[in-house]
Amino acid sequence: MDKMKFVLIGCGRIATLHVAGYKDRADAELYGVYDKNKKTAEEFAAAYGIPKVYSSYEEVLADPAVTAVEIIVPHHLHCALTVQACKAKKHVSVQKPMALNLAECDQMIAAARENGVKLKVYENFVHYPPYKFMKSLIDKGEIGEIKGVRYKMCNGALLSNNAPMCKARAKAYGITEESGLCPTGWKVDTLSWTWRLNETLSGGGPVVFDDGYHKFSLFVDLAGEIEKVVAWIDESIVFGNICQDAPAVIMWKYKDKKVYGVFDVTSPEGLYVNGKYYTCDERMEVTGERGILWLTRCTASMIPDLAPVILYKDGKVTEYWDFPHDWQDAFVESTHDFIDAIRDNREPVLSGERGREVLKFALAVLDSARQEKQIRLEQYEDKPLPKKRNFLSVLLRGNKR
């Protein structure tokens, strides 16, 4: 059979991790790219040996050779571009979070269903090999029935290339070249942060809502539907009047079971976290009736000598190493899920319906923090889309909630 042809829409930093999933696939190829900045698209295509660069999104959708698109653009564009692609009979992978509100999700799901195409919400954490292995142990009954979930997320900012003024921030903490610490993490274009700090375009803050969507996906995948949430989300200054949504603590209860979870979020400016990608350390603990499992890393690797998965049971500790555990491996698995879903005519792991469920969880968390009360997901009321503000307005007026 002919190879299925895929096109990346958006050639930003994270798009580089989407490329590897097409390598060595006999049934699929990364056929083309489109970015509103054509020079960026051309440089990206040349760097990764991608044969075709499109001049417009409409040109992509009009090409009968194209099987599917991967939409990797700011959140406020997800709904319109997804619906447009579905109507052109192209399968769609849309970057998380899938939309700004539930009404947009419903439009996207309906468009995919009406046009007979697959809709995948692209999220890599549920495809991370150590997490998949940990979940397989749980499914086999290794720790018995789940009794509780804890997740720690810590964004270390010291000497992190993820944000501007890396060395200036280090100097403020008295860190010099003689300290032996080197800049860590990959460099991220400042423009990719500006829209994330504008909640009218991103739908929520960059930490709890944007990055947090990965973790909310994990929590739902791990043990099912969420019944209620309560959250405290504070603010910390990024620069001027601009704030990010951290520190935070989020708690939830699973539906029809006495199982609770806690999600702890911190962003210490003076903490050094070693990592190839984002300098975010993450740890997950799942307590069961018969044992405890730890997932010790995901995005970064703060303690590289610690096994990715650790089991405590009956007084014994077992470490598991025998699987890929680089963050990019999760992207490869997620891309394979999209390709396989189209080939095998099945739903992706994170379908449009599941993506909507996760978004509802995330939006209920924001509501809980704003209203300072517990929110039951069955009672969550969808909100209209906010009036869009440009970044200059956000910069002058701030983005405090």
Q: What pLDDT sits at residue 395?
A: 62
**Edge to edge, what strands does the sheet with 52-53 contain?**
52-53, 28-34, 4-9, 68-71, 91-95, 119-122
pTM of the full predicted structure? 0.95
Average predicted confidence (pLDDT) for the chain: 94
Residue 108 pLDDT > 80: yes
What is the reported pLDDT for 348? 98
**Amino acid in position 258:** K
Is there a single domain that holds both residue 176 and residue 31?
no
Confidence band, pLDDT 50/70/90 cuts, at residue 106:
very high
Domain membership of residue 160 (yes or no) is yes
Same structural domain for residues 100 and 49? yes
Q: Is residue 284 part of a domain?
A: yes
Number of domains in the chain: 2
Residues 113 and 169 in one domain: no
Residue 292 lies in a domain: yes
- Distance of alpha carbon 233 from alpha carbon 244, whole angstroms: 10
In a domain, 354, yes or no: no
Taking the CA of residue 142 as centre, how many other CA atoms within 13 Å lie in the half-sphere pointing to its CB?
20
Same domain, 148 and 291: yes
Question: 49 pairs with which residues across the strands?
Answer: none
Domain co-membership, 221 together with 260:
yes
* Residue after which a domain boundary falls, among 342, 368, 389: 342
Q: Is residue 197 part of a domain?
A: yes
pLDDT digits (tens, 9 = 90+) for 261-283: 999 999 998 999 999 999 999 99
Rounded to an integer, the average pLDDT of 375-398 is 83
The answer to the question of residue 180 being in a domain is: yes
- pLDDT band at 399, cuts 50/70/90? low
Same domain, 109 and 248: no
Do 152 and 54 share a structural domain? no
pLDDT at 365: 98
Q: Among 295, 312, 342, give the residue marking a domain's end.
A: 342
- Going by pLDDT thresholds of 50, 70 and 90, the confidence category of residue 391 is low
Per residue in 67-93, pLDDT tens? 999 999 999 999 999 999 999 999 999
Does residue 352 form part of some domain? no
Same domain, 59 and 70: yes
Structure confidence at residue 1 (pLDDT): 61
Residue 297 belongs to domain with CATH number: 3.30.360.10
117 and 199 in a single domain? The answer is: no
Q: What confidence tens digit (pLDDT) does each residue in 1-31 have? A: 689 999 999 999 999 999 999 998 999 999 9
| pLDDT for the residue numbered 396 | 58
Q: What domain range includes position 251? A: 127-329+359-397
Q: How confident is the model over 206-230, as pLDDT tens digits?
A: 999 999 999 999 999 999 999 999 9
Distances (CA, A) of 103 to 22, 210, 218, 350: 32, 18, 23, 18
Q: Nearest Cα to 219, choosing from 319, 388, 116, 362?
A: 362
How does pLDDT run across 300-332, given as a tens digit for each residue? 989 999 999 999 999 999 999 999 999 999 999
Pair (172, 269) in one structural domain: yes
Q: Are residues 55 and 161 in the same domain?
A: no
Which CATH number fits the domain that encloses residue 29?
3.40.50.720
pLDDT for position 154: 96
Domain match, 203 and 295 both:
yes
Inside any domain, residue 231: yes
Task: Please identify, among 342, 367, 386, the residue that sits at the C-terminal boundary of a domain.
Answer: 342
